[in-house]
Amino acid sequence: MPEARWSALLCGIPLVVAAMTPQAGATPQPTPEPGVGVSQPVFTAEPVRETVWVETGLDGDGDGVLDRVAADIARPAGTDARVPVIMDASPYYSCCGRGNESERKTYDDQGRPVGFPLFYDNYFIPRGYATVLVDLAGTNRSQGCVDVGGPSDVTSARAVVDWLNGRAKGFDSSDGGRPVEAPWTTGDVGMIGKSYDGTIANGVAATGVEGLRTIVPIGAISSWYDYYRSDGVSFGFDPVGLARTVEEGGRPDCDPAKHNLVDGAPANGDMTPLWSERNHVPDAGNVRASVFAVHGQGDLNVKMLQFGQWWDALARGGVERKVWLSQTGHVDPFDFRREEWVRTLHRWFDHYLLGMDDGIEKEPAASVERAPDQWSDEPAWGGEQARPTTLHPRPGSTGGLGELGPEPGRGSASFTDDPRLGEYDWAARPDQPSPARTLFTTGPLEQDMRIAGTGSVTVAAKPGTDTAHLSAMLVDYGPATTRDYLGQGEGIRNTGTESCWGESRPGDDACYTDTEATRSDVDFEIIARGWADLANHESLSDERPLRPGTPYEMTFRLATTDHVVPAGHRLALIIGGTDKEFIVAPSRPGEIGLDLSGTSVTLPVVGGASPHTTATSPAGPPVVRPDRAPQQPDVQLNRP
């Protein structure tokens, strides 16, 4: 362990090798393995609560004065020990709230912070940590302007890391005021957060800032282009709407920043400099922090592609990393695996921020939920061992329904784009042809087939008009019980009980509503999706007009997945036009022909695919019972 990392241990922070002791009124917590120590709740005095305004070095609102962002701090009192920091930088502390109960920051009559959303302060401050909750520039009590993942967002959070390490200026007021330093901290920072907050953690880590020791991104974005667009096609919403939401009605001085968002995000779905500037994946090589990523495989808001491309880039850089993949949608692990989450996060922060040798870095690096509340652990994520395996579609005896197998295909197929339909319409009747899509399926699989990673679809397509949008999806046909991630709670529901995690104080409750898994019995599951604009077949940054009747080849991505298709199930590839659930229609939808000899799907298969599929369908096409067909998702898809 580097000498600097031992400094916390030598400054009086008790690190007791003993079982975790629950706070008064708290749900009892699990005992660690013999010999594994965790930090103990020994700082029981009322925490110091204060706000420091940190200078970002930017003037986003153009008033001629450098912007300051508000960092609300809660830290142990009555000690000279220097402590590390758990930091959550967010735009949502005033407008929208955080967590399952939408908690917002609260303040006393003098403007001092009282209520800190989430359990981090309640649980970790007694154990020798500080909690710092940062209002991103342009939100709540911070100056500047929101730029939705751009330099203002990332810099406003990085500036606080710099201030904690003595490299930036802090003040006791938003304007003027006295300088404030942070002699109470070691400078070691762990950033955590779900959705937008976790995205900021990714962005700050990608700057390589010194002092950031670990990040815990939960359902986080790695490329903002892939949140709003997909390989040339738009999802139908734009970053300026999110900027207005978090600014709570807008700030007139920030109109130029919003104009930049509008101008830089054209509706045609092209890649632009604005999107490139908000893509953290190319900068993953700068990451010095360890990464504990969490993502829901049913997340149709911040889609799994965001995790997959970030994880792959981190792996190439040799970053220490760990992952949990749940069956939920856009849900925090505190609300789908609470006890295990708190135990694991505690030890993760103890190791990377306090320098404790608790062995967590030697434990399984991946945990994947295979069925509701049934988790499978493995030493490294299986997606890193997957091999690309290409399957080809072939025509069947019924038009629009064909076969999928390892042998190259031939022949043709076609469909007519119908923007009134979507993927659940296309998938729910696999035994019936549809003029709006083509469907190709394997026979019953001879063995389990694990698909783990990011796949792609290649099409040789001939549009009937000068505009064409494409949708593709991978479907597992067969009976299963899954979390109901398409339902209102995205895989969870609230119960009538609470559990407490840490120390409750006036105005800052440590108790949270318990949840439980919701389940759905289905006959099929869409396990990966992708969308594209055929006009971007040559370049994502420069769409080209299509000539009707001219063949074009294009490869586009499917979302990352980790799914086991059981023996006896069938794997299907569906290709259609506009998926009404997700993408906007082209200006002139029409018929699209496919040359099957140039059309294929490439999948990351763990262990290879050739012995797992049959080329024929002796039992007939898959059948879906109407009461076991998933319905259109009941989730919000336009705010991370």
- The C-alpha torsion from 273 through 146 and 105 to 511, rounded to 10°, is -20
619, 629, 610: which is closest to 569 by C-alpha?
619
Containing 376, the helix (H) or strand (E) segment is strand 374-378
Decide the pairing of beta strands 437-441 and 570-576.
antiparallel
| Catalytic-role residue among 147, 153, 234, 330 | 330
Rounded Cα gap, residues 332 and 340, in angstroms: 13
- In the residue annotation, 195 being an active-site residue is answered as yes
157 backbone dihedrals φ, ψ, rounded to 5°: -85, -40
- In the residue annotation, 299 being an active-site residue is answered as yes
626 backbone dihedrals φ, ψ, rounded to 5°: -55, -35
End-to-end CA distance of the chain: 37
Rounded Cα gap, residues 260 and 60, in angstroms: 12
Containing 552, the helix (H) or strand (E) segment is strand 552-557
- In the residue annotation, 508 being an active-site residue is answered as no
Helix (H, G, I), strand (E, B) or coil at 141: coil
Q: Which two tokens stand for residue 417?
A: 């784009």
Residues 6+ positions from 15 with CB-CB distance below 8 Å: 9, 37, 39, 40, 128, 350, 354, 356
**Identity of the residue numbered 281:** V
Helix (H, G, I), strand (E, B) or coil at 152: helix
Rounded Cα gap, residues 298 and 269, in angstroms: 24
Say if residue 525 is exposed, middle or buried (CB neighbours under 10 Å; 0-12, 13-18, 19+).
buried
Rounded Cα gap, residues 162 and 329, in angstroms: 34
234, 261, 236: which is closest to 246 by C-alpha?
261
| Catalytic-role residue among 299, 335, 350, 358 | 299
CA–CA distance from 629 to each of 188, 432, 521 (Å)?
Answer: 49, 15, 9
Rounded Cα gap, residues 303 and 322, in angstroms: 19
Yes or no: say if 416 and 581 are a contact pair by the CB < 8 Å rule: no
182 backbone dihedrals φ, ψ, rounded to 5°: -125, 65
Helix (H, G, I), strand (E, B) or coil at 344: helix
| Catalytic-role residue among 39, 152, 156, 195 | 195
DSSP H helical ranges for 284-404: 304-316, 338-353
Q: What angle do CA 180, 182, 188 make, to 5 degrees?
A: 150
The residues that are catalytic are 195, 299, 330
